[in-house]
Structures are given as structure tokens and as C-alpha cells.
Chain A
Amino acid sequence: EVQLLESGGGLVQPGGSLRLSCAASGFTFSSYAMSWVRQAPGKGLEWVSAISGSGGSTYYADSVKGRFTISRDNSKNTLYLQMNSLRAEDTAVYYCAKGGAITMVQGGYSFDYWGQGTLVTVSS
């Protein structure tokens, strides 16, 4: 059974940093691209970032480019999102999502499994 378990969310002040983690199990982690998708309270889904199965290719939404860094440790079956220079508008539930293939272009753009999400609140 595929499981994705996010952690690391919490309350942080504007300008602060936070690192999210997503522990994966039930599939060959290194064979699939992974993404982070967020959802602000009462709002829709917003794609944040993606990484290929090998970790060699990374992609970012314009809204987070230069502030967030996605990475993965395939030996630990874990996906990360390092978030710096956080803003109030980054407040959201952050989901990690498994792509359908090893790279985005090959099918990593469809998310067949999602975690339950972790809440990040940016406020003073």
C-alpha cells in the first residue's frame, strides 16, 4: 500500500524558514517523480515544485522560485521542501504527491497518490 506522510509544518514568522519532509512507502521511491502541491485555507490547489526520480531535474512555480528548494533522499525514501523567506501568502496545507512516472514529461504530471498534508502558517 502506497503511503505518503508529511511532517514539518507549523507556525513561522514572516521571513523565516521551514523544512517539510514526506516519508514514502509502498512503492519504489526512486522510480517516480514527486511534487509538492499547496492549498491555502478555503482556496484551490496550487502546484509548488517537482523533482524527477533521480533528483537530477527540479521544477518550481514562479511564486516560490528562488525561495523554495525541493530535494529527495532515495536511500531514505524521503522528499523534502526547504522553504526560506516565507511570506503570509505561503500559508497553506502542503501536500506531497507521487507522480505517475520517473520524470515530469513522461507522466510525472499526474498525481496518483497524495499525503494528508501538513499545515504551514506564516504569521507574526
Chain B
Amino acid sequence: QSALTQPPSVSGSPGQSVTISCTGTSSDVGSYNRVSWYQQPPGTAPKLMIYEVSNRPSGVPDRFSGSKSGNTASLTISGLQAEDEADYYCSSYTSSSMVFGGGTKLTVL
């Protein structure tokens, strides 16, 4: 159950797009379309942003999108806004277990 690999930090200016990667293995990310993404502003509980690689729960802006290629999943945030500044975590389901990524801090410049 090794953690998925995410970049520690990314940044972008308002209006720009950023992409956060999440790299696993053929046993987790590569084998299942069961990747989720969570947003966690400081001092708050995580919030589901993307499930099953690319699906958005109701209420999540369409500026947030997800994709996957091989063992790497990605979260793209377009039209960056100040309120998007937060930590972002990916997760993957793998037979009877789950694993999170180490988290990525998004800074809006």
C-alpha cells in the first residue's frame, strides 16, 4: 500500500490552468478507473472534486476536470481562482484497499 506520487506543490496565476499529476502502479491507478480527487483548504475537511477518474459531483465547477493515462491520473483546474488555493489529494481503490497520494499544495499567485 505505497502512497501515490504527487508533486509537492504547483502554482499559477488567476485565469491560468494548472495540472496536478498522480502516479501509481499497474496494481492501482493503472488497473482501475477508481481514482478520486479531493480538495482541502487549510483547517477544513476534504471535499470530493472528481470521482472515477473524470466525473464531477454536483456542485463542483466544470473548471475542474480529471483524466488518466496508464499509471498516471491528472487533475486540471482551468480559469484559476483565488478560492482554489488548497491542498489536493488523489486516491485510488485497489482490491480491498485504498491509497492516497501525498498531496499537492496549490498556490494561486
Interface residues of A (CB under 8 A from B): 35, 37, 44-47, 50, 59, 61-62, 95, 100, 104-105, 107, 109-112, 114-117
Contacts and interface: CB of A to CB of B under 8 A. Distances in A.
Interface stretch (B9-17, B19-27, B44-52, B72-80): B44-52
B61 to A, nearest CB: 16
B98 A109 contact: yes
B106 to A, nearest CB: 14
Given A109-B34, A111-B48, A117-B45, A45 B100 contact: yes
Contacts of A107: 51-52
Interface residues of B, number: 25
A109 B93 contact: yes
Interface of B: 1, 3, 34, 36, 38, 40, 45-48, 51-52, 57, 87, 89, 91, 93, 96-103
Contacts of B38: 45, 111
A37 B47 CA distance: 13
A104 B103 contact: no
Nearest to B95: A105
A62 B1 contact: yes
22 contacts: A35-B98, A37-B100, A44-B89, A44-B100, A44-B102, A45-B89, A45-B91, A47-B91, A47-B97, A50-B98, A100-B51, A104-B93, A104-B96, A107-B51, A109-B93, A110-B36, A110-B52, A111-B38, A111-B48, A112-B51, A114-B45, A114-B47
Given A61-B1, A109-B34, A47 B98 contact: yes
Nearest to B97: A59
A88 B69 CA distance: 38
A28 to B, nearest CB: 18
A109 B1 CA distance: 15
A95 B91 CA distance: 15
Contacts of A37: 46, 100
A47 B96 CA distance: 12
